[in-house]
Amino acid sequence: MSVIALATVIALGVWAAMAGASAPTATTGQAPAYLALGGSASVGFQPTATHPHGTPTDRGYTNDLVIAARAHWPHLSLTSLGCPGASTSTVLDGGGRCRYPGGSQLAAAVHFLHRHHTTRLITVDLGFNDIGLCLHHTAVDESCVVRGLAEVQHQLPLIVGDLRAAAGNGTAIVGVGHYDPYLAQMTHGPASRHFADLTLVAITRLDQTLSSIYARFGVPMAGVLARFESTDSNPVTVGSRRIPADEERICQWTWMCSPGPLGPNIHPNDSGYVAIAEAISAVLPPSS
């Protein structure tokens, strides 16, 4: 299947899930499969001219990754079960915007894995939506962050454990870390800078929590925060301005600094999704 045809199948599958139809199912056979789980980033969510607040696209990191990962697994095909807004709770128990056979994203994933024994790669992109509502305006709700991290600590091991049991040891599972979109506000005044500092602490805590859970299952985590240079505050020149490198990277790789109606938007742009795919590729097992 050509890259263009594959992208069309992926996009139609995502829209079917969003519309309440059955979750996308790969064609049965012996071709190796890549199964992507998660929230909006896992379906390439971006603002577009017709959907300025964002919509799933075929230009996400999964689309970039499936091409790169064919160096490991020739003819690899992508099946995405991701859903915008998905949290560890909705993936485990159902709810949210999307409907799946079996009631949840995890149930659909386990069903897929039981039917597709040639699945070679699974990515799990969860956690941000568990604390995302805790980061709003110019305040970080610390008690909300604590509750969100507790939910992740309780629910993500159940998700990864079920995936590992259904997939077997021959399938590579990779967790996906997170960048901090609010670093785009570093130079917008003292209150915004303070908010950006607090959100970076929260996202770092989230990534540490995720990494610890994944490590318990022998699952590597892609270092997206590091790939976005999120702790590099050295000044760089952008036009006539001097801004921190971490802010410049967020502006370059997300829609946070774009003018309306497309921005500001926390999601990556094409370049940002490529960077996430590269971070995942860096922790894939060596080609055999």
Query: Structure pTM?
Result: 0.88
More confident residue, 238 or 60: 60
Of the pLDDT bands very low, low, confident and very high (cuts 50, 70, 90), residue 14 is very low
CA dist., res. 251 & res. 43, Å (int) = 21
- Cis amide leading into 264 (omega within 30): yes
E-assigned strand segments in the chain: 33-38, 77-80, 119-125, 135-136, 139-140, 172-176, 221-222, 235-238, 241-244, 254-255, 265-268
Return mean pLDDT, the chain: 88
Q: Is residue 62 included in any domain, yes or no?
A: yes
Contact 83, 105 (CB under 8 A): yes
d(CA 268, CA 154): 28
- Which pLDDT does position 40 carry in this prediction? 98
Domain membership of residue 288 (yes or no) is no
Q: Convert the pLDDT of each residue in 62-94 to its tens digit.
A: 999 999 999 889 999 999 999 999 999 999 999
Question: Domain range spanning residue 260?
Answer: 3-281
CATH value at residue 120:
3.40.50.1110
137-196 pLDDT, tens digit per residue, is: 789 999 999 999 999 999 999 999 999 999 988 899 999 999 999 999 877 778 888 999
Task: Kindly report which listed range (24-28, 41-45, 72-76) carries the lowest average pLDDT score.
Answer: 24-28
Structure confidence at residue 9 as a pLDDT band (50, 70, 90): very low
Number of domains in the chain: 1
Instruction: Give the tens place of pLDDT for each residue, 233-272.
Output: 776 776 667 777 788 999 999 999 999 999 999 999 999 9
Domain-embedded: residue 93: yes
Summarize pLDDT for 123-133 with one digit per residue, the tens.
999 999 999 99
Q: Residue 96's Cα: distance from chain center in Å?
A: 16
Sort 232 into a burial class: Cβ within 10 Å, 0-12 / 13-18 / 19+.
middle
Residue 71 lies in a domain: yes
Query: pLDDT tier at 45 (50, 70, 90 boundaries)?
Result: very high
pLDDT at 35 over 90: yes
Q: Is the residue at 286 inside a domain?
A: no
What is residue 79's predicted lDDT score, i.e. its pLDDT? 97
What is the side-by-side strand order in the sheet with 172-176?
77-80, 33-38, 119-125, 172-176, 221-222
Residue in the structure block whose two tokens are 């091991």: 157
N-terminal to C-terminal alpha carbon distance within the chain: 23
Confidence check: pLDDT of 134 > 60: yes
* Residue 166 falls inside a structural domain: yes
Indicate whether 284 pLDDT > 80. yes
The maximal CA–CA distance of the chain, rounded, in angstroms, is 57
Please report the pLDDT score of residue 29 as a whole number: 55
